[in-house]
Homo-oligomer: A and B are copies of this chain.
Amino acid sequence: MRRLITTNMTEIKLTVQAPTLVNRDFVKPTLCGPGPCDVWPSVNEALTKPVISPICDEHFYVLDDIRAGLKYVFQTNCDTVLALSGSGHGGMETVINNLVGPGETLLVAKRGFWCERALEMAKRYGINTITTTVPMNETFSLQQLENELRKHRPTALFIVHGDSSTGIVQNLKSVGELCQRYGTLLLVDTVVSLVGVPFFMDDWKIDAVYTSTQKAFSGPAGISPVAFSDRALNKINNRTHQPPFYFDVKLLSQQWNCYGSTRVYHHTLSSPLLWALRQCLQEVIKETLPRSWARHAATTKHFLKRVEQLSLKTFVPKPEDRLMTVTTVVLPKGYDYLQFSKYMREKYNILIFPGIGQTVGKTLRIGLMGVNSTIQVADAVADAVAGTLIALKKSSL
């Protein structure tokens, strides 16, 4: 490439000199925390596909493909389905601020770290927040939720389907019907559950849902799929409050051509993330959803068996409450969770996480998701846990 130089510019004095960025080599660990997860090889390739420009047909085809794939993974026939240009936290904020306005009430089924985030977000918009809670390692009963809905008749109920901070999956069957009975919209976090655990947006009458791509999707973070029911859409079309421009689903659904008539420019989408998400969806379609769910269940059940053989306890007592993507494991007295995780990385190059929020010092968080949801990886992690138990017993107990 020929680079022309005009001398006057190169003589400009800079205030800040160029830094030196050192290229450090590192051996990537196997990512077996609650996320980010390793990516599918095909998704890694997809990241380098040609840049697509927002005014070209190629761009529109990719958006249409993504919407079709998302309808499949969310199991919905609703039209308001798209991917937000941001992380899962962006999805969380979008679902809340599009559906609940200042002065309206959001009931949060509070357990684990992510509900705290939802509460913090809601308060920033002047939303009245109410919480109902359960012990960290239990799920909400329909009865408890109904009592709160009856008492407060909130605009919306926020609940987490798969909770990576506690390793719990919340049974959502009948929660949607309950919400409809009390005129409440049902908002669901599926960041760490979707594609790994059965989920049926339409059948379960869920009004708004968001997820992330760096968990069971085995893709890169930075793009957050969201879906809204027709009830939710009705609220969006008739609300009096205005969400932030960047998160406004009314505008985003026009950019994503959700209703088959508009391709209105809203912001520039990230080409590599679009290609990557499309490829994640191709992987799910190739395997099929039921087989993906079955694989995650089989892998995690195998891992749980291995953990039991090591005489370790799982943090979640009831088998039916255990999340099949992220497992929480309790160490015997005397072990330090942070030290344990560090040793796993240093000795075995396997990355697992200690607890977060309420679960700090109470559990390890081990994710077997997406490309890492295999018996081989489960065995490798279990072997490393066994080795670490012995090594740290000698040195620290």
- Contact indicator A15/B245 (Cβ below 8 Å): no
- Contact indicator A2/B75 (Cβ below 8 Å): no
> Which of A10, A285, A376 has the most chain B CB atoms closer than 10 A to its own CB?
A10
A151 on the B face (CB < 8 A)? no
In chain A between 368 and 397, which residues have their CB closer than 8 angstroms to a CB of chain B? 374-376
- Contact indicator B90/A290 (Cβ below 8 Å): no
Bound Cα distance A220, B42 (Å): 19
- Contact indicator A4/B302 (Cβ below 8 Å): yes
Bound Cα distance A11, B281 (Å): 21
> A194 to chain B: which residues have CB within 8 Å?
none
Bound Cα distance A203, B13 (Å): 11
> A220 to chain B: which residues have CB within 8 Å?
51, 270-273
- Contact indicator A278/B4 (Cβ below 8 Å): no
Hey, what's the 0/1 contact readout for A75-87 against B, CB within 8 Å counting as 1? 1110000000111
Residue in B223, B247, B271 whose CB lies within 8 Å of A244? B247
- Contact indicator A35/B268 (Cβ below 8 Å): yes
Bound Cα distance A16, B79 (Å): 13
Q: How many copies does the complex hold?
A: 2
In chain A between 73 and 131, which residues have their CB closer than 8 angstroms to a CB of chain B? 75-77, 85-90, 93, 97, 117, 120-121, 123-125
Bound Cα distance A299, B1 (Å): 12
- Contact indicator A86/B21 (Cβ below 8 Å): no
- Contact indicator B5/A124 (Cβ below 8 Å): no
A38 on the B face (CB < 8 A)? yes
Bound Cα distance A33, B52 (Å): 12
Shortest CB-to-CB span from A390 to chain B, Å, is 24
Which of A23-31, A134-142, A173-181 binds B?
A23-31
> A268 to chain B: which residues have CB within 8 Å?
35-36, 87-89, 212, 214, 221
With A36-B51, A36-B271, A271-B220 in contact, do A282 and B245 touch (Cβ < 8 Å)? no
Shortest CB-to-CB span from A370 to chain B, Å, is 11
> A17 to chain B: which residues have CB within 8 Å?
72
- Contact indicator A270/B273 (Cβ below 8 Å): yes
- Contact indicator B351/A77 (Cβ below 8 Å): no
Nearest B-chain residue to A7, judged by Cβ? B294
A53 on the B face (CB < 8 A)? yes
Hey, what's the 0/1 contact readout for A48-61 against B, CB within 8 Å counting as 1? 10111111101001
A167 on the B face (CB < 8 A)? no
A335 on the B face (CB < 8 A)? no
Residue in B1, B35, B71, B76 whose CB lies within 8 Å of A374? B1
- Contact indicator A85/B5 (Cβ below 8 Å): no
> A3 to chain B: which residues have CB within 8 Å?
287, 291, 295, 374
> A125 to chain B: which residues have CB within 8 Å?
244
With A11-B290, A268-B88 in contact, do A51 and B24 touch (Cβ < 8 Å)? no
Residue in B53, B75, B351 whose CB lies within 8 Å of A15? B75
- Contact indicator A93/B294 (Cβ below 8 Å): no
Bound Cα distance A7, B294 (Å): 8
Hey, what's the 0/1 contact readout for A235-249 against B, CB within 8 Å counting as 1? 000000011111100
Residue in B9, B47, B289 whose CB lies within 8 Å of A294? B9
- Contact indicator B351/A5 (Cβ below 8 Å): no
With A19-B71, A85-B222, A268-B221 in contact, do A14 and B289 touch (Cβ < 8 Å)? yes
> A38 to chain B: which residues have CB within 8 Å?
51
A132 on the B face (CB < 8 A)? no
- Contact indicator A221/B270 (Cβ below 8 Å): yes
Shortest CB-to-CB span from A368 to chain B, Å, is 12
> A245 to chain B: which residues have CB within 8 Å?
89, 93, 117, 120-121, 124
A-B complex: 3 closest residue pairs judged by Cβ atoms: A222-B270, A4-B298, A28-B50
